[in-house]
Every structure is written in structure tokens, then in C-alpha cells.
Structure 1
Amino acid sequence: MSPRTKEQNDAIREMRMNQIMQAAAEVYLEKGIQLEIRDVAVKAELGYGTVYHYYKNKHMLLEDLLWDALNRTESAVLPAMTGDGGSSLKAESFSRLLLQKCIQDPSVFILLKTVADNFHQFPGNRFIKLFADFQERIYLPFVEMIREGIDSKSPEKTANLIFGSLVGCTALNIHHNMQNEMDVEGIVEMIFSGIQSKGR
């Protein structure tokens, strides 16, 4: 049997890391910051040593999980940020896409909840850069959509209210096993029904 090529090793590494991060997200939803590498290994059906080979501690793993979630979040909402239509419609589309992604991808929900909680469960200042990137890539573009398209005295407060609503709805569904029942369209419509678009 011939040795694996660099490309094959890279593919295996990427597959393992995705497997580990998916398991970490599931464990985090169950245990929060109390999760341990051993819990992740069990959930991923991998040996403890295999997971430890990639991540020496849970904080390194969670940091990678959140950075990866930021990239996934940005990809999910990109159509709303780059699409046609007025800012009000873009804000609704952004919210719909974000809520859908939260349901499909627990790591995105964990990112949004962690940002909303101001990273209070994580030690030190290791998430300052992540928070700054979240602000620049996700939060501030959304605030700008609201500023341009919605009649709001404080676009930031309106954005916070919408983000909080999306996190809360996702949490209810995750923790009550109702993912299949979640009416994304109805929830976003309800949130935006009380928000007055400019130019109406």
C-alpha cells in the first residue's frame, strides 16, 4: 500500500476537523462551557488522542469553532448584502437567511449567542479580534440596512432587538426539539411587521 499524498492527508485533516467541530457544537449545546475534549471525542466517535492531536484544549477548539461559524454566517447572509432591492427588503432577507442558518448550523447559533452574551463564559481577551470582525462583517452592514431602509431612531437598538429575537427563537426551537416546526417566514414577518419601512 503506497503512502498517502499531501492532498489526501489535507483532505483527511479537513474532514476530521469538520467532524470534531460539528461534534463540539452539539456538545456545547448540551453542556455549554463545561464541555471537555473527551465529550467531543465521544460525540464525534473518535479516539480522545485523535481529537487532542488537533486541539490541545477546549478553548482552542471553541475559538476555531467560532471563527468557522463567522465565515459560515457571512456566506449565509451574503445574498442579502449583495442582492437587489431596497434596504428594508435586504434587512428582512438578511434576517431570514440568518435564522435559517441558525437552525441548520448550531455553530452559527452558538456564535450569535456568544456575541450577544459578550463572550462572558470565555477567559481572557482572546475574542477581541473575533468580535471586531463580527461587527465589521455582520453587525454593521445589518445596522446600515436598517439605517437606510427602516424608520428607526436608533438603528443599533433595532438591530440588537432583531438579533436577540432570532437568537431567542432559535434557542426555543433547539432546546425544545422543534426544528422541523420552525416557521422562518412567519417569525421574520412578525418581527418586521412592527417596524416601519422608510418611504411608506
Structure 2
Amino acid sequence: MSPRTKEQNDAIREIRMNQIMQAAAEVYLEKGIQLEIRDVAVKAELGYGTVYHYYKNKQMLLEDLLWDALNRTESAVQPALTGEGGRSHEAESFSRLLLRKCIQDPSVFILLKSVADNFHHFPGNRFIKLFADFQERIYSPFVEMIREGIDSKSPEKTANLIFGSLIGCAALNIHHNMQSELDVEGFVEMIFSALQSKGR
């Protein structure tokens, strides 16, 4: 049997990393910060040594998980940043895309919830850069959409209200195994109708 090529090794590494990340997100939803590398290995159906080969501790694993989630979040909301249909339309589209991604991808939900909780479950200040990047790449563009598209006395407060509503809705869907599929369109439309009628 001939040795694997670099490309084959890279492909295997990518598959393993995806397995580990997905398992870590699922375990985090079950156990929170109490998650251990061993739990992730069991969920991923990989040997403990295999997971440990990639991540020496759970802090490194969670850090990678959240940075990867930030990139996934940015990709998910990118179609809303078209400039078509006005800023209010963009903000609504952004919210729909974000909520869908949050429900489909546990790591994105974990990122948004961690940001909302100001990373208080995580030791030290290791997420200052991640928080700053989240602000720049996700939060600030959303605030600008609201500032320019919705009659709001405080665009930041309105953005926080919307983010909180989306996270809460996703949490209900994820943690309570809702049988019927969430009406993302209807939920987001309800938020924006209320905002525009009240001129928050």
C-alpha cells in the first residue's frame, strides 16, 4: 500500500476537523462549558487520542469553534448586504438569514449566545479579539442598516432587541425540540412590523 499524498492527508484532516467541530457544538449544547475532550471524542465516534491530536485542551477547541462560527455567520448574512430594496429590507433579510443559520448550525447559535452573554462562561479575556471582530463584521453593519432604514431613537438598542429575539427564538427551537418547523419568515416579519409601527 503506497503512502498517502499531502492532498489525501489534508482531505482527511479537514473531515476530522469538521467531525470534531460538529461534535463539540452538539456537546456544548448539552453540557455547556463543562464539556470535555473525551465527550467530544465519544460524540464524534473518534478515539480520544485522535481528538487530542488536534486539540490539546477544550479551550483551544472552543476558541476554534467560535472563530469558525464567526466566518460561517458572516457568509450566511452576506446575501443581505446587496443594497437592493433599501436598508429596512436589508435588515429584515439579514435577520431571516441569521435566524435560519442559527437554527441549522449549532456553532452559530453558540457564538451569538456567547456574544450576548459577553463570554462570561469563558475564563480570562481570550475572546476580546473575537468580540471585536464580531462587532466589526456582524453587529456594526446591522446597526447601520437599522440607523438608515428604521425610525429608531437608538439603533444600537434596536439591534440588541432584534438579536436577543432571534437568539431566544433559536434557543426555544434548539433546546425544546419543537416538532413543527419554525416560521422564520413570520417571526422576523412580526419583529419588523412591530418596530416600524412603534418607531423605536
Q: TM-score range by the shorter chain?
A: over 0.9
DSSP 3-state at the match of 2:89 = helix
TM-score normalised to structure 2 length: 0.97
CA contact (8 A) 1:109 1:167 kept: yes
DSSP 3-state at the match of 2:43 = helix
CA contact (8 A) 2:102 2:170 kept: yes
CA contact (8 A) 2:88 2:148 kept: yes
CA contact (8 A) 2:113 2:167 kept: yes
User: Residue 82 of structure 1: CA displacement?
Assistant: 2.6
CA RMSD of aligned residues (A): 1.8
* 1:192 matched to 2:162: no
After superposition, give the CA deviation of every residue in 1:172-191 in whole Å (9 maximum; x if it has no partner): 11111016421101110111
Q: How do 1:10-29 and structure 2 match up within 5 A?
A: 10-29=10-29
Runs of 4+ with >4 A deviation? 197-200
TM-score normalised to structure 1 length: 0.97
Could you tell me which residue of structure 1 aligns to residue 75 of structure 2?
75
Aligned length: 200
For 1:157 and 1:122, locate their aligned partners in 2 and report how far apart those are by CA, in whole Å.
25
After superposition, give the CA deviation of every residue in 1:9-59 in whole Å (9 maximum; x if it has no partner): 011101100100000000000000000000000000000000000000111
For 1:191 and 1:198, locate their aligned partners in 2 and report how far apart those are by CA, in whole Å.
11
For 1:171 and 1:199, locate their aligned partners in 2 and report how far apart those are by CA, in whole Å.
27
For 2:58 and 2:22, locate their aligned partners in 1 and report how far apart those are by CA, in whole Å.
14
After superposition, give the CA deviation of every residue in 1:111-138 in whole Å (9 maximum; x if it has no partner): 0000000000111111011000000000
After superposition, give the CA deviation of every residue in 1:76-112 in whole Å (9 maximum; x if it has no partner): 0000013511000000000000000011100000000
Change (3 A) 1:96 1:110: same
For 1:50 and 1:117, locate their aligned partners in 2 and report how far apart those are by CA, in whole Å.
32
For 2:151 and 2:79, locate their aligned partners in 1 and report how far apart those are by CA, in whole Å.
23
Larger mean Cα displacement after TM superposition, 178-187 or 158-167: 178-187
User: Residue 161 of structure 1: CA displacement?
Assistant: 0.2
DSSP 3-state at the match of 1:125 = coil
For 1:180 and 1:38, locate their aligned partners in 2 and report how far apart those are by CA, in whole Å.
33
DSSP 3-state at the match of 1:195 = helix
